[in-house]
Structures are given as C-alpha cells and as structure tokens.
Amino acid sequence: MTPAVADIRSICCIGAGYVGGPTMAVIADRCPQLQVTVVDLNAERIAAWNHDDLGRLPVYEPGLDAVVGRARGRNLHFSTAVDDAIAAADMVFLSVNTPTKSRGVGAGQASDLRWIEASARQVAAAASGHTIVVEKSTLPVRTAEAVKAILAAAQGDAGGSKTFSVLSNPEFLAEGTAIADLEAPDRVLIGGEDDQAIEALAAIYGHWVSGERILRTNLWSSELSKLTANAFLAQRISSINSIAALCEATGADVREVARAIGSDSRLGPKFLQAGPGFGGSCFQKDILNLVYLCRHYGLEEVARYWEQVVDLNTWQQQRIARKVVLSLFGTLTGKRLAVLGFAFKADTNDTRESPAIRICRDLLEEGAELAIVDPKVDAGQIAADLGQAPGPLGSTTGLVGVGEGTWAAAASPLEAARGADAVLILTEWQAYRHLDWSALAAVMRRPAWLFDARAVADAAAARAAGLTVWRVGEG
C-alpha cells in the first residue's frame, strides 16, 4: 500500500552531486517535519558536505551555504551508509550520474545507465515496507521500465511486505542559480501511474510551490520532457551562435539582433546570449541521447536535425580558437595568452564539458603558453580537464617557445596578463565586467589583443587602453 501523504516522514537521495545535494537541502529547509538523508559512495564528497566550514561544500552555488547551514544536523544528513538510509526511507530519489556511454552499444550517444541500475538494485535489496522510488536523474524515455523490472524482482520479499511505486520527477535547475530555481521553480514535473504516490510527492513540493506549477503526466511524457527541454534550450544557443558568425561577417551586432528578436513575445529574451558554445554536463549528453533514441525508433531525419545542434556547438568552440590563432599572425608558439574563466558558466565551480577545455586544448596544440585564472576552479581541476600538468611559462623570462604548449594557473587577471599578447575571456564572471584595462594593458606585450568570447568586458575601455578588441558576434 502506498503511504498516504501524511505518512512520508523520511526520504533518502542516492547521489550527493550537483543535483542531489542542493535539491535535498532545499526540501529539508522547506519541510522541517521530513528527515532527509543524502547518501553517496564517494566518502570524500560526503565528508565535504559535512565540513564545518560551509565555504568548503563540494558544490559552489550562491545561497547554498545558508540553506545547508539551516537544515544540516536538524533534518538534513549526509552519509555513506546507503543501505541504512534506504531501509529507513518511505521515498528514495535516484540522483546519480547518467553520462554518455564511452564504449559498447550506443557508445558516444546513449546514456550510460550503470549507476541508475546499480542504485535501483540497491533499493530493491535494502528497502523495507512500501517505498516510492523517484527518478531524479535525467534518463532516456522508458528507463522507468527497467527500474520497475529490477524492483519487481524484489517485490514481495521480506514476507510480502516489500513493495514499490516508481515516479519520474526530472530536475530543471541550472547551475549557478540552483537555489533560486529550486525555491521558485517554473514548474515541478511528476510522471507516474500510482496516484497516491504522485500526490505524496506533490505534497512535499506543495510546502513551497503553488499547486498550478506542479504538473502531473504519465511516466514517459515526464522522462521525455526533460530531454526535450534541454534540447530546445541548447538549440537556441546554437541558433544565436550561428547568427553571431553571420553578424561578424556582415557588420551586424548579435546583441542588437538578440534584443530585436527577443522583444517578440513569441520568442522571448532569454537564452539568446552568443558565446563560446554551451558547456555543462547535460546539454550535449542529453541531445546525443535524444539522437540515439530517435535512431533507435527509426527516425533518422529527426536524429539528424538534433545532431546538428551539437555539431554547430563544436564548430563554435573551434572557430574561436582559430580566430585567436589567425589574429596573432597565424602562430602561437612562444606567445602567452591570459585565459580568464574556466568554469562552463559563471557562479559555479563545475567545468564539465566547459568550452574552455576544447578551446585551451586547441591553443596548447598551437604551442601557446596559457596563464589560466578562474575564481572557483583550482589548478588540479584544470590539469585533469586539459590532461596536462601545469608547467613553467617561458616567454616572459626571455626564452623562445619551443612549440610545446604549456599552461600555469594565475592568481588574478593582472597576473595572468603579465607578458601576454592577448586576454581571452571564456566565462562571464561578474568581475570580468569591471577589469582595469589600463592596468592590464600596462603589463601586456604590444601589440595586445582582447578576445571576448562572452562579450562582457568594457570594450571601449580596452580599446582606449590600446588593445585590439574582438567580441563574439560583433561585425
């Protein structure tokens, strides 16, 4: 029997990542009567969630420290005791990673569901009584079938008392605004077949989300809506980036075009910011997953349509690296570039699929020396992403570069710019809007360039300081 709404006292979330941590923190904050336990196999991550210093949580999100500070130890717990937390829970969220498969059938496109399967098996083994299992991870449409099959195999165990309901409740938060998105979501989506289970989950969100924003659908619509939302959002970015290239060729300005088209209420002003291409852990993987599903169902034209959104994005990243090389007289050997920003967007420490990775790799391939700075990304993460340890930068000491690209972390934009031929802005951190261009120009080698792939810097000030300025989408 599915518990009535009032019977949900304890929930557990498997996966203490960028989604599981913030989502459960907000649920615990808004529902003090619920006990919320977030579990993970990664003991280091759990220790970081339990760190006394709220400035050292494993996920950087504005406002997250305050929410965790209010709820942790009261009704929000982080633990590695996965089975105990499952056994105690009336409702278990699966919020594990679902990256693109790297080998085997569907490699490069299909989602790798091994973590979902493992966590479903763990729930099947450790649950007691009736448990509502909620898919929070982004999953291919019809994954709930597999989750249900795994749970069904354990159904009736423990003297017949073990039973399950499966719901889909995809998450739509964006990193950098996760807390605001969770506290005031545009909508909460719940897909399922068991009305009582749906209402039990809706009642949790109902503590702070108004009823008309809680949408109920069947399981498959819910799963597919998440992939579709990400595909449409990413499509807008590829669309505006394609027009940015045309603006550069024709003398138009993509920001003026974006304002003009965004004023049409049918289009709206959001997600029209041209840049170095979209990054983040989800857009590319979710579109590729959609492409894979379309091919699986024999919809080749539909698959090719969505594939183009990713192809355009890759082209945009390569185009920016090429622009830098060609502007600096076709060679970067022995030249220093200051790279400002490495995270895939501002206000996060996440670098997964960051455009900075491909762009920096292409520049290193050309023999550049990169001085990289980011307010929230450390040198260890940059080394892991570039697949290359930091090395000494030679050209400022008078050495002629030998053609091997090197990089080093810099402590500030000013330090990064010392001896550099160019500054390249790859993340739209607020601080980069207010750089002191006369101070930066004074320590750079002449002639000096600014390549602003986010169009955030004060271009007039940079030009006044003597730099040649390129901004994405400016003809």
Query: Does 20 engage in binding with ligand NAD (CB under 6 A)?
Result: yes
Measured from the CB atom, the residue of 139 and 237 that comes closer to ligand UGA is 237
Strand order across the 91-94 sheet: 76-79, 35-39, 10-14, 91-94, 130-135, 163-168, 188-191, 214-217
C-beta separation of 429 from 453 below 8 A:
no
**226 in active site:** yes
Which does residue 237 touch among ligand UGA, ligand NAD, none (CB within 5 to 8 A, set by kind)? ligand UGA
Query: Does 95 engage in binding with ligand NAD (CB under 6 A)?
Result: yes
Report how far residue 440's alpha carbon sits from residue 450's, in angstroms, rounded to the nearest whole number: 11
- Point out the catalytic residue in the list 31, 247, 282, 360: 282
Ranges within 267-326 binding ligand NAD (CB under 6 A): 281-282
Query: Does 171 engage in binding with ligand NAD (CB under 6 A)?
Result: yes
Closest alpha carbon to 404 in 368, 372, 359: 368
C-beta separation of 3 from 130 below 8 A:
yes
Which does residue 41 touch among ligand UGA, ligand NAD, none (CB within 5 to 8 A, set by kind)? ligand NAD
Measured from the CB atom, the residue of 111 and 235 that comes closer to ligand NAD is 111
How many Cβ atoms are within 10 Å of 243's Cβ, its own excluded? 18
Torsions phi, psi for 437 (to 5 deg): -70, -30
Residues contacting residue 260 through CB under 8 Å, at least 6 positions apart: none
Q: What's the min distance (Å) between Cβ of 247 and ligand NAD?
A: 30
Query: Does 456 engage in binding with ligand UGA (CB under 6 A)?
Result: no
Among 25, 31, 57, 96, contact with ligand NAD (rule: CB under 6 A) = 96
Among 118, 203, 299, 302, contact with ligand NAD (rule: CB under 6 A) = 118
Using the rule CB under 6 A, give the single segment among 54-62, 279-287, 399-407, 460-468 that binds ligand UGA.
279-287
- Point out the catalytic residue in the list 226, 285, 335, 345: 226
Report how far residue 69's alpha carbon sits from residue 151's, in angstroms, rounded to the nearest whole number: 35
Rg, Å, the chain Cα set: 24
Among 175, 362, 385, 421, contact with ligand UGA (rule: CB under 6 A) = 175
Which does residue 45 touch among ligand NAD, ligand UGA, none (CB within 5 to 8 A, set by kind)? ligand NAD
Q: What's the min distance (Å) between Cβ of 463 and ligand UGA?
A: 24
Among 109, 119, 168, 284, contact with ligand NAD (rule: CB under 6 A) = 119
Q: By CB neighbour count within 10 A (0-12 exposed, 13-18 middle, 19+ buried), where does 192 fall?
A: buried
Q: What's the min distance (Å) between Cβ of 28 and ligand NAD?
A: 17
C-beta separation of 432 from 366 below 8 A:
no
Query: Does 275 engage in binding with ligand UGA (CB under 6 A)?
Result: yes
Which does residue 34 touch among ligand UGA, ligand NAD, none (CB within 5 to 8 A, set by kind)? none
How many binding residues for ligand NAD (CB under 6 A)?
Answer: 28
Amino acid type, 232: F
- Point out the catalytic residue in the list 171, 175, 353, 366: 171
Torsions phi, psi for 451 (to 5 deg): -110, 110
Residues contacting residue 270 through CB under 8 Å, at least 6 positions apart: 262
**248 in active site:** no
Measured from the CB atom, the residue of 282 and 382 that comes closer to ligand UGA is 282
Q: What's the min distance (Å) between Cβ of 19 and ligand NAD?
A: 4
Residue closest to ligand NAD when measured from CB atoms:
17
For Cα atoms 404, 407, 412, give the angle at the middle one, nearest 5 degrees. 155
Q: What's the min distance (Å) between Cβ of 272 and ligand UGA?
A: 6
Q: What's the min distance (Å) between Cβ of 308 and ligand UGA?
A: 17
How many binding residues for ligand UGA (CB under 6 A)?
Answer: 21
Among 67, 237, 309, 455, contact with ligand UGA (rule: CB under 6 A) = 237
Query: Does 17 engage in binding with ligand NAD (CB under 6 A)?
Result: yes
**31 in active site:** no
Q: Which residues bind ligand UGA (CB under 6 A)?
A: 138, 171-175, 230, 233, 237, 271-273, 275, 278-283, 344-345
Q: Which residues are catalytic?
A: 171, 226, 282
Q: Which residues bind ligand NAD (CB under 6 A)?
A: 14-20, 39-42, 45, 82, 95-98, 115, 118-119, 122, 137-138, 171, 173, 175, 281-282
